[in-house]
Structure 1
Amino acid sequence: MSLWKRLLDLAGNAFHLAAPDVGPTDPCSPDPGDMEFAAAVVALAAKMARADGKSTLDEAAAFRAAFPISPDERPMFDKLFALAQETVHGYEGYARRIGKRYVAKPCLLEDVLDVLFAFAAADGAITDGELAYLNRVSDLFGFTETEFARLSAPYFPDRAPDPYTMLSVSIQASDEDIRRAWTRSVAENHPDKFIARGAPVEFIKAAHEKTAAINAAYEQIKSSRKQKGRPANTQESGRASSESSRSYQNAPAGS
């Protein structure tokens, strides 16, 4: 098996190409056989480890956790990782190609950013250099600054974005539209969805953090509107809570 075929298989583990219940038309999967995608993801992750001018063993370990390999393949894989991370230069070309190729699959591009965020946070903190790197990759993927703020929020709970931004709704949105945005966001990011796909632990952890941030944003909007004399529709909110509690264990109580 060639090195590039190995990389494709490893990328498939992280992005559920081989999940039995996910077909080739899944909107969040890369195209079958896309070895350039696999190589680009490896390069982006490895180069990000140099974004702050240094690399740590924790980041390398997180990389291997998301791309599980057998013990006999580890030396070759570590060599590839080390080669890619010798310099941060060149990452923009990889990000630009992925963003252009999968412009119609933003959820896949979000998955890639989730992987990169998980690696950056592996040593306990995301540095300014790493954040700038991630912001630039996000830009090359075609995401706006507002969207990047939403995507990065789970990793910076002390500076979460506006709750309306977190739910991707306007401040003028109706209570019902906000409720729908909340349930949709929880459904898209719930950990159970990633567990079913066989996603690596980094994805599942990120899903928990995202779901918590989404729920917190929804509760904040409801509380704010109630204080301003614009209470959420209690009948709809109660129904949403009942529906979500059956389907999503992480949905906020009393919603």
Structure 2
Amino acid sequence: MSIWVRISDFVSGTAGNALGGLVEQVRTVFAGDPETRARVAFSVAMIALSAKMAKADGVVTTSEVDAFREIFEIPDEEAERVASLYNLAKRDVAGYQSYAAQLAGLCGSGQPDCPMLRDILDGLFHIAKADGLVHEKELAFLSDVAAIFGITEAEFDRIRARHVDVGDGDPWRILGLEPGTAYANARRRYRELVRDNHPDTMAARGVPAEFHAIAHERIAAINAAWDRVEPELRRR
């Protein structure tokens, strides 16, 4: 049974068809199966929060819909289920802050900068920039979600730098380094970033295989940033 069928069944059995109730069901039903719970939680998070982000921005473009489908390879027979969940999230009177807080508890480990929550934020940035620009309202939405997720300002700045050009300091921001960092420490940081974003590492924290296309984009940005800063680091 696909995760979309399971999620849809949860929705049909949730009082009032509120997606917030679904989040609680995922927590209890998959309590003994953390791997499946992580996959379902990631899917619910991306549906709910991308729908809320679209509502906050006021416009849903074709490119944003295509970007969503890049994250999830949705079979044709499941497309209607996913669309119904997306529309449910848009209609639900609960604000995105409520969803984000619930999902932080569901997906996170209780520690700051939980990797899976950063993956969710990265996916939301991917969707937001699909029309060629991350709009001001979208950036405010993403910043607020990051704060609710417990993602530090420095980490949010690093994620944003991979998607939005914020000036000449981008490569340093992407790597999370200060320009005066010693070469050995900088290289250690670079290797950590590559390791943390390896497909096997991401799969272990519940990220679906389709997200790996975005992971490749992320790795490309990290490698490009390293290529720009390494010569300067070596000169020192």
Same fold by TM (over 0.5)?
Answer: yes
Q: What amino acid sits opposite 2:73 in the alignment? A: P
Gaps of 5+ in 1: 9-28, 231-255
Q: 1:152 aligns with which of 160, 168, 182?
A: 160
Residues 60, 190 of structure 1: alpha-carbon distance in 2 compared, 3 angstrom cutoff: same
Deviation track 1:3-46 (CA, whole Å, cap 9, x = no partner) reads 761469xxxxxxxxxxxxxxxxxxxx965336666434321121
Residues matched between the structures, number: 208
1:72 equivalent to 2:80? Answer no
Q: Match for 1:93 among 89, 95, 98? A: 98
Distance 2:70 2:233 in 1: 43
Residue 108 of structure 1 deviates from its aligned partner by 0.7
Give how far 1:163 is off. 4.2
1:53-202 alignment, distance < 5 Å: 53-86=58-91, 90-101=95-106, 102=108, 103-104=110-111, 106-157=114-165, 159=167, 161=169, 163-170=171-178, 173-190=181-198, 199-200=209-210
**What is the SS of the residue equivalent to 2:133?**
coil
Partner letter of residue 44 of structure 2?
A
One-letter code aligned to 1:209 = E
CA distance in 2, matches of 1:99, 1:68: 24
* Bigger relative contact order (CA 8 A; separation at least 6): 2
Is contact 1:7–1:39 with CA below 8 Å preserved after alignment? Answer: no
Distance 2:4 2:95 in 1: 21
Moved more, 212-221 or 137-146: 212-221
User: Per the alignment, do residues 70 and 120 of structure 1 end up closer, same or farther by CA in structure 2, a change over 3 Å counting?
Assistant: same
Give the fraction of aligned pairs with identical amino acids, expressed as a percent: 36
Task: Confirm or deny that 1:32 pairs with 2:42.
Answer: no
Aligned to 1:234: none
Give the secondary-structure state (helix, strand or coil) at the position aligned to 1:143. coil
Which AA in structure 2 matches 1:33? R
CA distance in 2, matches of 1:177, 1:183: 10
CA distance in 1, matches of 2:100, 2:6: 21
| CA deviations over 1:59-111 (Å, ceiling 9, x no partner) | 23332443333333322331331232247961111111222341347111111
CA distance in 2, matches of 1:126, 1:88: 25
Say what the alpha-carbon RMSD is for the aligned residues. Answer: 3.7
Task: Give 1:243's aligned residue.
Answer: none
Q: Which has the higher helix share?
A: 2
Per-residue displacement from partner, 1:226-253 (whole Å, max 9, x unpaired)? 5xx62xxxxxxxxxxxxxxxxxxxxxxx
CA separation in 2, counterparts of 1:214 and 1:55?
29
Query: 1:77 is paired with a residue of what secondary structure?
Result: helix
- Aligned residue for 1:54, secondary structure, equals coil
Partner Cα distance (1:150, 1:113) in 2: 12
Instruction: Give the deviation of 1:176 after TM superposition.
Output: 1.3
Measured against aligned partners, the alpha-carbon deviations of 1:129-164 in whole angstroms (never above 9, x if no partner) come to: 111111111111111221111112221245375544
What does residue 240 of structure 1 align with?
Answer: none
The alignment partner of 2:209 has SS state of coil
1:24 matched residue in structure 2: none
TM-score (norm 2): 0.70
- In the aligned structure 2, how far is the partner of 1:224 from the partner of 1:37? 39
